């Protein structure tokens, strides 16, 4: 899969998160605020940036308490209903994702076995179930589905 961030894709993210990206050199940056809960979240997207010896998409999240990165982002799912965007990266059957909420919240799931996404969630421990459910929106876009 050769995913590219385009103007249309940024617009889709902007619409769901109710924000605007500003282009600064090699990055696109947006800031989300939730004054009721005292939250601030900054998202930076670096399309086609050099990551080691390869080129890929980098998504960085900054909050007052953390800095998280998703290397080699393969795509995203923008959900108006959930008011969130799930950025994901797949590598050798495992999935990592950063979920950014319109309310300036963020969840991160890393190295999740892709098979958990379509399994029977009721057979999983609650701690494991959460990651499978959270990332299940990405399943139709994953590379391993197109290889079968």
Q: What is the 3-state secondary structure (H, E, C) of 62-95?
A: ECCCCEEEEECCCEEEEECCCCEEEEEEEECCEE
Contacts of 25 (CB under 8 A, 6+ apart): none
Q: What is the CA radius of gyration of the chain?
A: 15
Is pLDDT of 146 > 50?
no
Total Cβ atoms within 10 A of residue 21: 20
Write the pLDDT tens digit of every residue in 76-124. Answer: 999 999 999 999 998 887 788 999 999 999 988 887 777 666 666 566 6
Above 80 in pLDDT, residue 137? no
Q: Is the pLDDT assigned to residue 141 strictly greater than 80?
A: no
Residue 82 CB neighbour total at 10 angstroms: 14
- Per-residue pLDDT, averaged over 139-147, amounts to 55
Q: Residue 139: which pLDDT band, with cuts at 50, 70 and 90? A: low
Compute CA 146 distance to the chain's CA centroid, rounded to the nearest angstrom.
Answer: 20
Is pLDDT of 11 > 80? Answer: yes
Higher pLDDT, 148 or 136: 136
Q: What is the pLDDT of residue 1?
A: 46
Decide if 45 contacts 106 (C-beta within 8 A). Answer: no
CA 15 to chain centre: 15
pLDDT tens for 29-78 read 999 999 999 999 999 999 999 999 999 999 999 999 999 999 999 999 99
Q: Where are the alpha helices (DSSP H) in the chain?
A: 7-17, 126-135, 143-146
pLDDT at 104: 97
**How far is CA 137 from each of CA 5, 50, 53, 57, 123, rounded to the nearest angstrom?**
19, 28, 30, 20, 19
26: its two tokens = 């090699």
């Amino acid at each position: 899969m050769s995913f590219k961030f385009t103007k249309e894709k940024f617009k889709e993210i902007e619409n769901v998160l109710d924000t605007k990206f500003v282009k600064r050199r090699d990055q696109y940056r947006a800031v989300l605020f939730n004054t009721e809960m005292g939250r601030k979240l900054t998202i930076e997207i670096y399309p086609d940036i050099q990551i080691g010896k390869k080129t890929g998409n980098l998504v960085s999240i900054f909050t007052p308490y953390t800095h998280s990165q998703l290397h080699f982002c393969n795509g995203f799912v923008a959900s108006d209903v959930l008011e969130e965007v799930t950025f994901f990266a797949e590598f050798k059957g495992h999935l990592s994702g950063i979920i950014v909420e319109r309310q300036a919240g963020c969840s991160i799931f890393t190295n999740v076995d892709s098979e958990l996404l379509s399994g029977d969630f009721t057979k999983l421990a609650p701690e494991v179930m959460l990651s499978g459910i959270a990332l299940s929106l990405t399943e139709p876009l994953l590379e391993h589905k197109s290889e079968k």
